């Protein structure tokens, strides 16, 4: 006990002491004295990621052009090899996963390939999506000769935080050719029911695609078993592969052989790529959706970062700790911050890896937190987004974050900061 509270600092410390993943933290560079609660925006550097990057630089220095074949691991098949390492994280076969491009480009590549107005003119999305997804989908609709205002069917939120599965299912009918949704909403942290939505899409003759940016590396997926048609994600959030790291994509094997909308030589069958024929011979795998030469220096850190996931015992173990951390955070907010609301679903089946703490002064509170060395994100209009990454954040960190929030609110410390003006992140 600690004053009127049920949860104490020593409870947090005990939980850290019995956390089987607590040692992973020592492999990360945590900015000095900071509580880094922003691992879902930009994950931190690990010594593993740094070593893999150093190795790629060293092999470039030593081998020059020969690195494509003679580097260890060779650069020519680096994207496919990383796909193979990523496959268990998303529940797919090695051939169904590859790294390529950025997430936004992968949305263009896959929506552009799989959208077919003859299957159904409408694409179902939701009103709380990350904006880039809508920009890319609208652009793809235009390039297919459609009016995006007509063809985009946007499922609205009832409460401004979450999307009801029932409302998604109601939006899927015979006019729908594609459903494209996130796994986890970037603001509230709601986790969607991927299986139910995929089944409903398939029942209506539509394809189901997902953006896993806020779940890959922190939530296990079973894309193949569920039969998801395609998915995209980035590696710089929970997977800690560095700013602008190469992104990932999955294409279900039933779609192998479909000609990619964004064809490029790096998607050619590896066996014939260097025959340099002017007719494109797409790889019979997700590898076909690569476009140009793999950026080795933005792929190498991922190779190291994946060691962390494997040493944790897989993404299931990270998910288990992540849920314990977010449960702990929610309990503390309930207990100590009555003026704040938790905007994230409490049900484990509906929660991603972060927690949205809502307050009318969220913007200025997030500035006050940063001033105290607590790194969080603000998201319009009223969300302080707190992401305790299970790879390097512990229970004491969560406890201290809430203590900082309590002190900021008690002292109205946020009043020292300017109100937000338009155009400021």
Task: Please say whether the beta carbons of 318 and 309 come within 8 A.
Answer: yes
Stretch that binds ligand PLP, among 198-206, 208-216, 286-294, 371-379 (CB under 6 A): 208-216
Residues 400/336, Cβ–Cβ less than 8 Å: no
Distance CA 85, CA 91 (A): 11
Nearest distance from residue 102's CB to ligand PLP, in Å? Answer: 4
Minimal distance, residue 46 CB to ligand PLP, in Å: 20
- Per the structure block, which two tokens stand in for 271? 């066996």
Site for ligand PLP (CB under 6 A): which residue of 22, 77, 93, 102?
Answer: 102
The two tokens of residue 47 are 């010594």
Please indicate whether residue 130 is annotated as part of the active site: yes
Q: Is 52 in contact with 58 (CB distance < 8 Å)?
A: no
Residue 213 as a binder of ligand PLP (CB under 6 A): the answer is yes
Q: Single out the catalytic residue among 25, 27, 187, 237.
A: 237
Site stretch for ligand PLP (CB under 6 A), options 92-100, 206-214, 262-270, 287-295: 206-214
The H-or-E segment that residue 180 falls in is strand 176-182
Closer by beta carbon to ligand PLP, 102 or else 258: 102
Strand order in the sheet with 97-99: 97-99, 248-251, 230-233, 207-211, 176-182, 122-126, 152-155
Residue from the set 104, 188, 190, 285 that interacts with ligand PLP by CB under 6 A: 104
Separation between Cα atoms, residue 223 and residue 275, nearest integer Å = 34
State in angstroms the smallest separation of the CB of 360 from ligand PLP: 25
7 vs 185 by CB, closer to ligand PLP: 185
Catalytic residue among 364, 377, 385, 399: 385
Q: Does 135 bind ligand PLP (CB under 6 A)?
A: no
Continuous segment of H or E residues that includes residue 105: helix 103-114
Would you count residue 132 as binding ligand PLP (CB under 6 A)?
A: yes
Within 157-186, the residues that bind ligand PLP by CB under 6 A are 182, 186
CA neighbor of 154 nearest in space, from 137, 139, 171: 171
- Both tokens assigned to 45: 């550097």
* Contacts to ligand PLP by CB under 6 A: 102-104, 130, 132-133, 182, 186, 211, 213-214, 234, 247
Catalytic residue list: 130, 211, 236-237, 385
């Amino acid at each position: 006990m600690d004053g009127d509270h049920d949860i104490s600092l020593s409870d947090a410390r005990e939980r850290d002491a019995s956390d089987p993943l607590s040692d992973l933290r020592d492999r990360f560079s945590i900015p000095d004295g900071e509580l880094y609660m922003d691992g879902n925006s930009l994950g931190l550097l690990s010594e593993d990621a740094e070593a893999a990057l150093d190795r790629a630089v060293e092999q470039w220095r030593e081998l020059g052009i020969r690195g494509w074949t003679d580097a260890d691991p060779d650069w020519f098949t680096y994207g496919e090899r990383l796909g193979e390492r990523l496959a268990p994280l998303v529940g797919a076969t090695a051939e169904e996963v590859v790294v390529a491009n950025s997430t936004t480009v992968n949305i263009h590549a896959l929506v552009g390939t799989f959208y077919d107005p003859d299957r159904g003119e409408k694409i179902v999305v939701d009103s709380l999506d990350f904006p880039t997804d809508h920009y890319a989908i609208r652009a793809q609709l235009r390039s297919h000769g459609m009016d995006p205002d007509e063809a985009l069917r946007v499922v609205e939120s009832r409460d401004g935080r979450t999307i009801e599965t029932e409302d998604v299912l109601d939006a899927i009918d015979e006019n729908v050719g594609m459903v494209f949704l996130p796994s986890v909403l970037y603001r509230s942290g709601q986790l969607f029911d991927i299986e139910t939505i995929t089944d409903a899409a398939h029942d209506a003759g539509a394809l189901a695609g997902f953006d896993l940016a806020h779940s890959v590396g922190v939530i296990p997926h079973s894309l193949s078993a569920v039969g998801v048609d395609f998915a995209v994600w980035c590696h710089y959030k929970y997977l800690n592969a560095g700013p602008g790291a190469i992104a990932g994509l999955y294409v279900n094997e039933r779609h192998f052989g479909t000609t990619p909308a964004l064809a490029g030589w790096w998607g050619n069958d590896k066996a014939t790529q260097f025959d340099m024929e002017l007719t494109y011979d797409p790889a019979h795998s997700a590898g076909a959706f690569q476009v140009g030469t793999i950026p080795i220096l933005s792929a190498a850190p991922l190779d190291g970062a994946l060691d962390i996931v494997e040493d944790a015992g897989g993404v299931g173990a990270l998910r288990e700790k992540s849920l314990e951390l977010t449960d702990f955070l929610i309990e503390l907010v309930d207990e100590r911050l009555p003026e704040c609301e938790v905007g994230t679903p409490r049900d484990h089946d509906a929660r991603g890896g972060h927690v949205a703490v809502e307050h009318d002064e969220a913007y200025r509170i997030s500035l006050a937190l940063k001033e105290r060395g607590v790194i969080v994100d603000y998201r319009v209009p009223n969300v302080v987004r707190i992401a305790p990454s299970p790879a390097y954040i512990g229970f004491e960190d969560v406890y201290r974050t809430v203590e900082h929030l309590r002190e900021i609110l008690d002292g109205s410390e946020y009043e020292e900061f300017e109100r937000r003006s338009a155009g400021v992140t």
